[in-house]
A and B are shown apart, each in its own frame.
Chain A
Amino acid sequence: MNLESMYQEIILDHYKNPHGRGLREPYDAESFQVNPTCGDEVTLRVALADAKVGDVSYDGQGCSISQASTSVLTDLVQGRTVEEALATMDAFVEMVQGRGQVEPDEDVLEDGVAFAGVAKYPARVKCALLGWMAFKDAVSQAASRAEGATR
């Protein structure tokens, strides 16, 4: 197992120069997620418009994997329909939980394929998923709020 298999250049780039970082207004829902074993945390906000994902903003602290993964997330979900964004999330989750057995689709995951190596490090899978869990939670909150409002 060589080092570069997990710390891909893409991951280090996103870590050093994160995309979309910082909490912004307006937003429809916010989620705070923490990994109790290492203290990594992320607060993520989602704005939805016409069943599409609008601005995704976040702040957090933690290891390169958790912070870079959240940066990649914003590129992958903004401007997509909620359905597409959740399908991308499923593909990402499947890849990092796949113990190295899942061949990622670069057309779907783009920079996200850089996290394929994380799958071989069980202790780090939660790091890679932290931002995605916040996204899933925020989208689900926003959707149920929107549903409540139309009733």
Chain B
Amino acid sequence: MTTTTAAPFDVETVRKDFPILSRLVHGDKPLVYLDNAATSQKPRQVIDALVEYYEKHNANVHRGIHTLAEEATALYEGARDKMAKFIGAPSRDEVIFTKNTSEAINLVARVLGDAGPGYRVGPGDEIVITEMEHHSNIVPWHQLAERTGATVKWLRLTDEGRLDLSTLDSVVTERTKIVSMTHVSNLLGTINPVDVVVKRAREVGALVLVDASQSAPHLPFDVSALGADFVAVTCHKMLGPTGIGVLWARLPLLQELPPFLGGGEMIELVTMEKSTFAPPPHKFEAGTPPIAEAVGLGAAVDYLTAVGMDAIAAHEHELTRYVIERFAEVEGLRVIGPNTAENRVAEVSFALEGIHPHDVGQILDEQGIAVRVGHHCARPAVVRYGIPATTRASFYLYNTHAEVDALIAGLDRVKRVFT
């Protein structure tokens, strides 16, 4: 009898699975990829799954009765099963494939405006978001408020980059219809106490949407434990292809809420007079879905599961600890966000005294180090900290301590150019 245990986590073994990590940039510089909060790199297993799908199984899903259509459908729906299991969804029918997180949030914001009396957001209602949201969790709510006469209210931030929950009870009130918040900030790396907000939302009967774009790729993740009503995930940040995301929602909500886009795949019956709609999840998946992308996502989920999310989280926590420790040695460097490894992920924004982030990013790039500079689509939070932009280094399962050292050496070079 054999027992299967996950192999111990070894970053060098992991790195071998990612072809792009062995490329050189600017001639002879090894790539140091620290822009994982923007998108992750893809392992060979995901790339192979895409190629194999197109070489052997490509067909449209659900309608055909030929071999390829059945194979494509099984792969597409199989990816839904894998994703359901990965995020701890009680039912596979609660997993809706979208284009990305933005589309998932737009879906919810749109249908809440169109919903029946129970869930409809209308004049006098309030929508609560936080100051650390990505624009994709701000703009759809501005638009919903504009359409319906509702008001957007904000949970603010503390100086150290946490949610200021001292105002929770006065901001989330009986007027609140929905609270939409990020689980992990893409700018600050902060892990938010979603449970505290959910508890307050339950007291006042508000729905809760959680943007898990920056948490699902990095932390063991379970929608049931999270306690929210909606969860949005984008899959290209978790080793999957671009062009596919997931909206998870409680099944009774999906059954009751009206559809988002209309078209093929999402109907029950169409007559010349009217249309009726399929049950979830298909009700929310109009048109030919991202089939190959779902297949790639399935391979990504398999990969993450095989490595183990606990091991990934532990590796990244250690990298966080190390980068925070090394950053403390860099004169003139100010971490924007929690200056500790606790309750934060390995995405660290910083400002370098007197040097603009664009210049920092450019000189790091010349050394092969890829970071993100700018407002990271979270402009309200950047403004909150009194700066025009930040430089952000964000890590993933394949990053190493040596790459942190390369970043520190790179920053030293930046400072030598500008002082």
Chain A contacts to B: CB under 8 angstroms: 1-3, 6-7, 12, 15, 37-40, 61-65, 121, 124, 127
The 8 Å CB contact of B26, one of A1, A37, A38, is: A1
B358 contacts A124, C-beta separation under 8 Å: yes
Taking the complex as formed, is B279 at the interface, i.e. its CB lies under 8 A from any CB of chain A? no
Prevailing SS type, chain A contact patch: loop
**Residue of A with least CB distance to B366:** A3
24 cross-chain CB contacts under 8 A: A1-B27, A1-B366, A2-B366, A3-B363, A6-B362, A7-B362, A7-B363, A7-B417, A12-B417, A12-B418, A38-B357, A38-B374, A38-B388, A38-B389, A39-B374, A39-B375, A39-B389, A40-B358, A62-B358, A62-B388, A63-B358, A63-B359, A64-B356, A127-B358
The 8 Å CB contact of B356, one of A7, A37, A62, A121, is: A62
Q: State the Cβ distance, B387 to closest chain A Cβ, in Å.
A: 9
Taking the complex as formed, is B144 at the interface, i.e. its CB lies under 8 A from any CB of chain A? no
Interface 0/1 of B12-43, CB less than 8 Å to A: 00000000000000110000000000000000
Which residues in chain B, 53-100, are within 8 Å of chain A measured between CB atoms?
Answer: none
Chain B residues within 8 Å of A15, by CB: 418
Which residues in chain B, 377-419, are within 8 Å of chain A measured between CB atoms?
Answer: 382, 388-389, 417-418
**Residue of B with least CB distance to A15:** B418
Interface-centre pick from A1, A39, A65, A121 (highest chain B CB count, 10 A): A39
The 8 Å CB contact of B362, one of A2, A39, A121, is: A121
A124 contacts B362, C-beta separation under 8 Å: yes
Interface 0/1 of B347-370, CB less than 8 Å to A: 000000000111100110010000
Chain A residues within 8 Å of B179, by CB: none
Q: State the Cβ distance, A15 to closest chain B Cβ, in Å.
A: 8
Chain B residues within 8 Å of A127, by CB: 358
What's the Cα separation between A39 and B374 when bound, in Å?
8
Lowest 8 CB-CB distances: which A-B pairs, in order? A63-B358, A63-B356, A39-B388, A3-B366, A64-B359, A63-B359, A39-B389, A38-B374
Chain B residues within 8 Å of A124, by CB: 358, 362
A38 contacts B373, C-beta separation under 8 Å: yes
Chain A residues within 8 Å of B356, by CB: 40, 62-64
What's the Cα separation between A91 and B358 when bound, in Å?
25
What's the Cα separation between A127 and B358 when bound, in Å?
10
**Residue of A with least CB distance to B379:** A39
Chain A residues within 8 Å of B382, by CB: 39
Q: State the Cβ distance, A34 to closest chain B Cβ, in Å.
A: 10
Chain A residues within 8 Å of B389, by CB: 38-39
